[in-house]
Structure 1
Amino acid sequence: MSMATELAATYGTPLYVYDLDRVAAARRDLFDALPEEFGVFYAFKANPHPEIARTLREDGSRACRAEISSTGELAAALAAGYSGAEIFYTGPGKTAAELATAMGHGVRMFSVESLSDLRRIGSVATGHGVVVDCLLRINSASASASTSIRMTGTSSQFGIDSESLADLVPQLKSVPGTRISGAHLFPLSNAKDEESLISEFQHTIEVAAWVQKEIGVEFRHLDIGGGFAMPYAVPGERPVYRKLRTELGGALDVAFPGWRANGLQVFCESGRYLTGGCGELVCSVVNIKESRGRKFVILDAGINTFGGMSGLGRLLPVAVQPQADAEPGDTEVANLVGPLCTPGDLLGRDVSLPSPASGDVITIPNAGAYGVTASLLMFLGRPAPTEVTVRGGQIVSVSRLEHNRVYGDPR
């Protein structure tokens, strides 16, 4: 019996199990793939669990900083031990109240999506009597990779359109309470291969050098985004990037001569690569039914527990790890669905799995990123899944988000 199955017997299902040793290994692998001068921002949207974030903050010079986009993520970062100085606040909808909370906790670095966003940041900073570092997020008109999830090159709520930057420079440089200290670019997510990732980063660095020249400010900070891949809810391993370190260093040497010596801090961002492989979602078969020639395996975990981002229009691929005691060939094909009262509660079509029976335990691999907090957690008011963190085969923490308390205890 696997550890996940044993934990499910103790704590019930649905259940997330996060292996913190795998989190630490992913952090090491990513830093090894980057030039040694690089920093890494951990994108809390992938998984804000404090134990995961705390693990990513360990290891001195190879500690990840925090990239957040809400006061809820700010609270998670603070709970994990991050100081305001280690936090980068991003997002297109930063309100004055959120900014005041962040600055009150010492956050001094912000991504800027527009002139009005910068002015709001400056107004709050002036009220606090501080000057904050602002990285201009740029929506480049061009891109390199044509695959993966594109985050630039079209009209968007994200970033300042590159073609409008020149006209905005005088106003951007004159907002009280702010200091333009660099650029933030995030052109794609989940690159299909290392060549695509390298090509996109090279293009991003070229754009960043153009931005520095355009605004006439020597950069202190440069965030070139992410795009590091990781299988999502299907078996597989993190890719190993063997050429990335050399290619990134070379691109920066050309675009920002002397960057290693002049104090330019260069960052990448990552969420799924750091956490995707640490988690398993363990769920139970509640019922099995046939409908017009198709089999449906109904689980106690649905899009309220995992894969709620399928509401964005992308059906998320889910695969099941076969049970260890299944005989070779002893499988059948079925639709994997959750318990919710909507036909959209579909985790996978035509999934091959060992012949299921009510009460069986099924494990979904590589579920450490975009799980609980990326799901339709409040829909139908079902309890949130339990989350267990382990290290070295020992339990570190057991917790569960308690959203049902809003309505009181029905007992």
Structure 2
Amino acid sequence: MTANTPLLEKLAAEYGTPLYVYDLDGVDAARRDLFGALPESFDVFYAFKANPHVELVRALRTGEGPACKAEISSTGELAAALEAGYPGTDILYTGPGKTRGELARAIVDGVRLFSAESLSDLTHIGEAALAHGVTADALLRINSATAGASTSIRMTGTPTQFGIDSETVAEIAAQLRDVPGVTVAGLHLFSQSNARDEKALIGEFLRSIDVAAAMQEDLGVRLRMMDIGGGFSVPYAQAGARAQYPGLRAALEEKLDTTFPGWRQGEPRVAVESGRYLVGDSGTLLAGVSNVKVSRGRKFVILDAGINTFGGMSGLGRLLPVSVVVDTDGAGRATEKASLVGPLCTPGDILGREIEVPETADGDVLTIPNTGAYGPTASLLMFLGRPAPTEAVVRGDEVLHVSRIEHIRTPV
């Protein structure tokens, strides 16, 4: 067995595999690091899409230090946020496809801040607010005309469902300002994910601040808030540490002092958002070896965890590239080249091609680190009807919560 701690071995023996283990000490450390890298007055919105497990998102709200707020884009994520204790006033509702029913639910549950992707989206937000006798605040998401730093996922500079094209803002500014039931409170500038390095991250943030200044002029609205996005990096299913950003705070403070001199007094209030950075290295995936075979000279290690358990969206080329690197004990155990594949009846169920793994036999357990983000809920959970992986939440050696997502078909 290659699980690297007695606790992981115990949990795998008790609950079986595939098994995710999330350590809240890691979540706490990531939150401290991120807030520590930012100017003191910044807000941090946690992107629930990275991992909406209630125990993890609760940990990001409670404990020592500043609390994260919630960035959500569905009523399911809204329910998780409310269960974890987030008040509606600490929730930002985003996404290009918000339905009228979803908007009504969010308004009823106390959400008052929305990201608007278009004039029509803004109108829908206003209609939902008016129907319930309130006024909502909106951050206009901007699709900048130009792309900035290189990144694994680019969110601006091309035709897209995300955001209002920056070159059209001046033309439609009066319409945006005059939508009943909603006030244009600021801007949402999410342009990248998983920045290459600190220089790239800083460069993109500084460019977003310049875009915000230009959009404020085009809109004719004094910004009360701006969300300048994310891009904070952590290894994905490979060993390694979260990125550190020692120069970020000073760079942001200098730029904001010049471009928005009132920001230190909250005019505007500035926020960033992060998903994987806050939870990615808290998670470990334990995968059982079901079979080992050789085909035409190549070895295949067949696991009980595949793209139905981890990286399903990336397996379809939609999210992050899957190329896991398993822990190899560090105890001198012999390794070999093999492909890690899952249990599904599709040739696309591959977690790693010709990677270094410990010499492995049926019944062993492999440990895949840095899997706290984009795990079960970003996978093909229902494909072939296999059970969802078990998820255990721990703090150090204490087991706090163990659960599994169940697929239940209910009449409507």
Give the TM-score normalised by the residue count of structure 1: 0.96
Alignment pair present for 1:397 and 2:401:
yes
Q: Any residues of structure 2 matched to 1:9-408 within 5 Å, and which?
A: 9-59=13-63, 62-310=66-314, 311-313=316-318, 315-323=321-329, 326-327=332-333, 330-403=334-407, 405-406=408-409
Larger CA deviation: 208-217 vs 271-280:
208-217
Counterpart contact for 1:323–1:362, Cα < 8 Å? no
Counterpart contact for 1:184–1:225, Cα < 8 Å? yes
Q: CA deviation at 1:324?
A: 5.4
Change (3 A) 1:45 1:59: same
Post-superposition CA distance 1:139-187 (Å, at most 9, x none): 0011320343211110000000001111111111111000000000011
Post-superposition CA distance 1:240-267 (Å, at most 9, x none): 1100000011111111112112542110
Q: Distance in 2 between matches of 1:184 and 1:362?
A: 41
What percent of counterpart residues are identical? 62
Q: Distance in 2 between matches of 1:189 and 1:147?
A: 6
Change (3 A) 1:60 1:171: farther
SS where residue 298 of structure 1 aligns? strand
SS where residue 263 of structure 2 aligns? coil
Q: Distance in 2 between matches of 1:132 and 1:60?
A: 31
Paired residues, what number? 405
SS where residue 399 of structure 2 aligns? strand
Post-superposition CA distance 1:382-406 (Å, at most 9, x none): 0001100001310110110011x32
Change (3 A) 1:9 1:60: closer
Post-superposition CA distance 1:364-398 (Å, at most 9, x none): 00000000000000100100011000013101101
Post-superposition CA distance 1:190-230 (Å, at most 9, x none): 00100000000000000001111111111111100000000
Q: Distance in 2 between matches of 1:315 and 1:289?
A: 25
Counterpart contact for 1:326–1:354, Cα < 8 Å? no
Q: CA deviation at 1:120?
A: 0.7
C-alpha RMSD of matched pairs (Å): 1.3
Q: Distance in 1 between matches of 2:41 and 2:32?
A: 14
Structure 1: gaps spanning 5 or more residues: none
Change (3 A) 1:60 1:324: closer
Q: Distance in 1 between matches of 2:383 and 2:410?
A: 14
Change (3 A) 1:162 1:229: same
SS where residue 7 of structure 1 aligns? helix
Q: Which amino acid aligns with 2:168?
A: S
Q: Which amino acid aligns with 1:20?
A: L
SS where residue 321 of structure 1 aligns? coil
